[in-house]
A and B are shown apart, each in its own frame.
Chain A
Amino acid sequence: MRNFIVFLLSTIPTLALGDWEVNLPRGVTPTSVLAYDLHMLIFYITVIIGIGVFGVMFYSIIHHRKSKGVVPANFHENTKIEIVWTVIPFLILVGMAIPATQALILMEDTSEAEVTLKVTGYQWMWKYEYLEDNVSFLSRIDSESNKARKLNSGVDVSNVKNYLLEVDNPIVLPVNAKIRLLLTAGDVIHAWWVPELGGKKDAVPGFVNEMWFNINKPGIYRGQCAELCGKDHAFMPIVVKAVSKAEYEKWVMNQQNNNKIANKK
């Protein structure tokens, strides 16, 4: 109990200072930006509706109370207003559906991709295959996180760099190129998700799904498996390194050479 109180007190400065992530990341792909903009649009619409609806409600709660001697009115229907508050929300919804549908059409268009990356989910790691370049490897949680995450490991996880979000072999992808992902799984359903690259897609055993993105900023982007896939579901992170095209080509060459050496052995 005392620990608990100490903890409570210790959170106060963080509460004040912490730079908390409280929103969707805007992301670095056209699809993630679309999703973000729609998210904010709908959010603001709901906030405005909320202020209106709750405003009326609280006005009524404050003013129409028995303790103020209010005598209840007698009305209990009004066809006109009932039609209005059926039709107006409907129109607002139509207004939301139009940009949403447009975004969806764009997101589902996987044609004309420059790089095809096949992603296979396993319990509990990912396999990546660059179909055009003959490069493939497995990607697992890195060993430091893996040690720290064990029950009662005794490791203070806040000292582990990128705890649970670091892998042994990250994906390397070029920026400003349309990347198509082919997703499937080798055992149960997984889902591949890097928030800053846009949405997620399920990897279903026996079937192949696809999604695409086009990264516009070099950097390292992290994500996780997003579909419950068994006991180590929380421990199959995803790391994407977005680099310039030249760097990407160099990396591919290196990988191919490494593969050759490995095969000779």
Chain B
Amino acid sequence: MNTDADHLHEDHKTGIMRWITTTNHKDIGTLYLFLSLTMFFVGGAMALIIRAELFQPGLQLVNPDFFNQMTTMHALIMIFGALMPALVGLANWQIPLMIGAPDMALPRLNNWSFWILPFALGMLGSTLFFEGGAPAAGWTLYPPLVLQGGDALPYAIFSIHLLGLSSILGAINIIATILNMRAPGMTLMKMPMFVWTWLITAFLLIAVMPVLAGAVTMLLTDRFFGTSFFTASGGGDPVMFQHIFWFFGHPEVYILILPAFGVISTIIPTFSRKKLFGYDSMVYATASIALLSFIVWAHHMFTVGMPLAGEIFFMMTTMLIAVPTGVKVFNWIATMWKGSMTFETPMLFSLAFIVLFTIGGFSGLMMAITPVDFQYHDTYFIVAHFHYVLVPGSVFAVIAAVYFWLPKWTGKMYDETLGKTHFWLTTIFVNITFFPQHFVGLAGMPRRIPDYAVQFTDFNAISTIGSFGFGIAQILFLYILYKTLKQDVTADNKVWEGAEGLEWTLPSPPPYHSFEEPPKVE
């Protein structure tokens, strides 16, 4: 453990240099979370441009090409700039505290994996100001369309390489920490659920981010170096890109949701004052979801013309995912059952997560059915589905986690009334935004269109109203965070009556260097 001690006792600098040079997991966690919050608003602003244009039929605000740039950038920024950094930020703060480690295993690497991010995102964002604009082929970057874009493509691809590199380094660090730095006595099967989900997520990350890097590199060489991976003139096939992309893409969506499962599995027992039901089956369910995620990718592309056997195979494997996911939901409800529940803000977000994520899961099960997916594919029904699993799914889990651990991190309690107001506004508006999209999708509205036939007007207008309400509710969230940091209401060490785990044995806020002497876990 000597190598850590060297880092830990470096004199840490003050001011901006403290943040640039920091190798402290708490500082880096904070940096990640701030970056994520910023990007959440940037990506959200893009979403509002999209929704504003879709408020009425006809083009009123933006031209179609800019609209396509917005849908592309909104997705890339929300996934790589907002959600993944948020989850990594939570991991940075919580994993060492939860396993009783003094810091992450590789602190300098940790500094690097964060500081790559702002540059990568800056480069990605700068493509908006290029001639020909940002990539406009959707975040899925399908060729040949993506190859038609302007000068932005190589920059966008390089930024994706950097974003991937950052997540890979972060993931390596997380695995190295969890495998090597647990407090004595903490066996794998005694680890908190959040740590388990992150361990599995980190393995997914290092398995698939390089595959994305490979896919976009092939795009790059196809465009500039005369290869023809994705064009039939040289023996390639544009559909092959989709296969490689979704080999990355499906595990990627679990990367976004598994740590969220971990958060929910932490919060529900705390506010039910009862141990997590079925810990073991929770671990196995998470692992089997992760494994299954490698053999379901083609369900994102049922319409490309696959052999019948392929369609049946990917339909069955996809349906199978419902089993471990169901186990998780049942376990959460069994945890609440005969508990002694209270409903503080993190609990409210977690309960909404269970209901709304499950609705997203139901529509996911519907689209697993290949013959019906021929109808759903590339419509707003799909948009509704993945926003249900990502917004009231992953985003709610992140918000719940922030409310849950903020008093621990800062030593200050947030305003519960404001928190609950934030919850209700967010939950109501998220449904007003995304529920009507199911209807227009089923009625025949394709996704990624800036303008639509008049029969889709009413639901689109409702959805737009919901999205602006959702956006305003998040400004309240900012205010709550600001108010918490500025005020004097302190939180005690345990914060929540039902809280369990090593992090709650530390003072609030925890000292800059915690668990220098590893705690004992019996």
User: Which residues of A approach B to under 8 Å, CB–CB?
Assistant: 7-8, 11, 14-15, 18, 20-25, 31-32, 34-35, 38-39, 42-43, 46, 49-50, 53-54, 56-57, 60-61, 64-67, 70-78, 81-82, 85-86, 89-90, 93, 96-97, 100-101, 103-105, 107-108, 148-153, 155-158, 162-165, 183, 187-189, 191, 193, 195, 198-202, 204-207, 209-210, 223-235
Contact A11 B57 (CB under 8 A): no
Which residues of chain B have C-beta atoms less than 8 A from A105's C-beta? 308
Given A149-B451, A162-B453, A206-B231, decide whether A21 and B370 contact each other with a Cβ distance below 8 A.
no
Contact B277 A77 (CB under 8 A): yes
Q: Number of contacting residues on B, CB 8 A? A: 97
A165 to B443, CA, bound (A): 14
A227 to B448, CA, bound (A): 8
Contact of B333 among A25, A60, A198, A200 (CB under 8 A): A60
Contact A204 B304 (CB under 8 A): yes
Most chain A C-beta atoms within 10 Å of own C-beta, residue among B305, B336, B359:
B305
Interface residues of B in 252-297 (CB under 8 A from A): 272-281
Contact B305 A204 (CB under 8 A): yes
Please list 18 pairs of residues, one from A and one from B, whose beta carbons are closer than 8 Å in the complex, sorted by A's number: A20-B458, A35-B371, A67-B342, A70-B340, A72-B272, A78-B278, A85-B326, A85-B327, A86-B281, A89-B323, A100-B315, A101-B312, A157-B58, A157-B454, A164-B57, A200-B303, A228-B447, A233-B68
Nearest chain A CB to B189's CB is how many angstroms away? 13
Nearest chain B CB to A27's CB is how many angstroms away? 9
Which residues of chain A have C-beta atoms less than 8 A from B320's C-beta? 93
Which residues of chain A have C-beta atoms less than 8 A from B231's C-beta? 205-206
A74 to B337, CA, bound (A): 10
Contact B369 A100 (CB under 8 A): yes
Interface residues of B in 441-456 (CB under 8 A from A): 442-444, 446-455
B402 at the interface (CB under 8 A from A): no
A207 to B505, CA, bound (A): 63
B330 at the interface (CB under 8 A from A): yes
User: How would you classify the secondary structure of chain B's contact residues: helix, strand, loop or mixed?
Assistant: helix
Contact A46 B444 (CB under 8 A): no
Given A89-B323, A100-B371, A204-B305, decide whether A77 and B278 contact each other with a Cβ distance below 8 A.
yes
Which residues of chain B have C-beta atoms less than 8 A from A230's C-beta? 68, 136, 145, 148
Closest chain B residue to A73, Cβ basis: B338
Most chain B C-beta atoms within 10 Å of own C-beta, residue among A21, A61, A153, A234:
A234
Contact A231 B136 (CB under 8 A): yes
Contact A195 B375 (CB under 8 A): yes
Which residues of chain B have C-beta atoms less than 8 A from A75's C-beta? 277, 338
Closest chain B residue to A162, Cβ basis: B453
B1 at the interface (CB under 8 A from A): no
A165 to B445, CA, bound (A): 11
Which residues of chain B have C-beta atoms less than 8 A from A74's C-beta? 274
B64 at the interface (CB under 8 A from A): yes
